[in-house]
């Protein structure tokens, strides 16, 4: 689907919301006219009765008004039923579209992060990486640093690439060579990779070293026998996920978020929300946190809240994130 078509759909959804609101106003106006006609017929009948013989002609008019009012009330009721069905269908269309936006957004992010997970595992197999954890010689470090720097230049989505030996000490980096020799053995990502001999992905966090939001993709470096001899770890530039959110086609008044498994916002069109805004008060968010439903929507006060939970992608299991779309409704 082209960007132009998607933008048109978003505009049509906004128009549908406005037309839906106008239908409600028309329905209320028809009801008001019908009620006023009924009151007029009753008042006319009362005045005709008071006038006696002189009001006989007026009584005929009152009866006709009453007939008109009754017919108008019946027509109003039929119109109300039709408009209400149209109103409900319009809401359903908006809701389904909103759920689709949530699903498409989280799916796009997961596919991107699946590739990041594959990157770390692939780079762990290169000889330059293996050699430097086996032997920290100056020459091996130079070759490894050069390889990582070249890789970082090609893959622009990373802040940094690190190679760490079995003791947790940095032996090579792509960019910040001052990190070489630093002990990272106490970090969760290192401990998990060494413990499980499997790749490990952190959740989003703010790095004081990088001074930006990031997440780590770490993979064991193994020798020819399959024994783990070190860890390669990447620092992903979270801005690329923020750009996915920014490009998502939602209404002008709508809000799109990615939340972690605790309901905390980790991506939003408003960067100040990240790791600060909590959406756990929404019933739909509670459903996603508790694993009750994988996707859906719910009206909460005057807002339609749609969600889609991360399903991961291929071997990448994801981090139990969820896309949330909040659509204000009249």
Does the residue 3 lie in any domain? Answer: no
Does the residue 116 lie in any domain? Answer: no
In this prediction the pTM is: 0.77
Q: What are the DSSP calls for 65-123, one per residue? A: HHHHHHHHHHHHHHHHHHHHHHHHHHHHHHHHHHHHHHHHHHHHHHHHHHHHHHHHHHH
> Which is higher by pLDDT, 258 or 318?
258
The Cα–Cα gap between 140 and 220 comes to 19
The Cα–Cα gap between 289 and 312 comes to 15
- Does 21 score more than 90 pLDDT? no
CA distances, 168 to each of 1, 45, 156, 191 (Å): 47, 95, 26, 9
Does the residue 162 lie in any domain? Answer: yes
The Cα–Cα gap between 267 and 260 comes to 9
The Cα–Cα gap between 269 and 9 comes to 20
The Cα–Cα gap between 302 and 294 comes to 23
The Cα–Cα gap between 284 and 296 comes to 8
Domain range holding 73? 9-94
- Does 192 score more than 60 pLDDT? yes
CA 38, distance to chain mean position in Å, is 50
- Scan for tokens 């595992």, then name that residue: 121
Residue 7 gets which letter from DSSP? Answer: H
The Cα–Cα gap between 157 and 166 comes to 27
Contacts of 297 (CB under 8 A, 6+ apart): 95, 98, 99, 284, 304, 305, 306, 307
Query: What end-to-end distance do the CA atoms of the chain give, in Å?
Result: 29
Query: Per-residue confidence at 46, pLDDT binned at 50, 70, 90?
Result: confident
Which CATH number fits the domain that encloses residue 174? 3.30.450.20
CA distances, 67 to each of 29, 51, 62, 75 (Å): 20, 21, 9, 12
**Average of pLDDT values for 232-260?**
92
CA distances, 268 to each of 48, 206, 250, 287, 294 (Å): 68, 15, 12, 20, 20
Last residue of a domain, one of 44, 74, 94: 94
Last residue of a domain, one of 239, 272, 288: 239
Does the residue 86 lie in any domain? Answer: yes
- Total domain count for the chain? 3
**Average of pLDDT values for 151-160?**
95
Ranges of H-type helices in 124-238: 127-134, 138-154, 188-196
> Which is higher by pLDDT, 7 or 21?
21
The Cα–Cα gap between 152 and 146 comes to 10
pLDDT 10s digits, 162-181: 999 999 999 999 999 999 99
Which pLDDT belongs to residue 191?
97
Does the residue 192 lie in any domain? Answer: yes
Which CATH number fits the domain that encloses residue 33? 1.10.287.950
């Amino acid at each position: 689907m082209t960007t132009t078509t998607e933008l048109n759909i978003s505009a049509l959804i906004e128009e549908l919301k406005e037309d839906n609101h106008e239908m409600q106003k028309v329905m209320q106006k028809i009801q008001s006219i019908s009620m006023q006609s009924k009151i007029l017929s009753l008042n006319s009948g009362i005045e005709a009765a008071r006038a006696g013989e002189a009001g006989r002609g007026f009584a005929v008019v009152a009866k006709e008004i009453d007939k008109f009012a009754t017919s108008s009330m019946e027509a109003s009721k039929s119109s109300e039923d039709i408009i209400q069905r149209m109103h409900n269908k319009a809401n359903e269309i908006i809701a389904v579209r909103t759920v689709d936006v949530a699903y498409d957004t989280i799916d796009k992010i997961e596919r991107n992060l699946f590739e990041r997970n594959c990157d770390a595992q692939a780079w762990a197999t290169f000889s330059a990486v293996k050699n430097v954890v086996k032997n920290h010689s100056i020459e091996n470090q130079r070759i490894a640093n050069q390889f990582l720097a070249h890789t970082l230049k090609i893959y622009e989505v990373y802040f940094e690439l690190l190679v760490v030996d079995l003791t947790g000490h940095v032996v090579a980096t792509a960019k910040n060579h001052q990190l070489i020799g630093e002990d990272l053995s106490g970090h969760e990502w290192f401990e998990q990779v060494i413990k499980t001999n499997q790749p490990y992905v952190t959740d989003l966090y703010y790095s004081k070293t990088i001074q930006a939001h990031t997440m780590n993709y770490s993979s064991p470096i193994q020798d020819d026998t399959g024994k783990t001899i070190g860890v390669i770890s990447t620092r992903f530039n979270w801005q690329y996920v923020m750009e996915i959110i920014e490009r998502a086609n939602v209404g002008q008044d709508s809000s799109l978020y990615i939340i972690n498994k605790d309901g905390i916002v980790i991506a939003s069109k408003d960067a100040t929300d990240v790791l600060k805004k909590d959406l756990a008060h929404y019933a739909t968010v509670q459903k996603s946190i508790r694993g009750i439903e994988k996707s859906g929507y719910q009206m909460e006060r005057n807002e339609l809240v749609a969600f889609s939970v991360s399903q991961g992608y291929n071997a990448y299991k994801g981090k139990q994130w969820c896309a949330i779309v909040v659509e204000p409704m009249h």
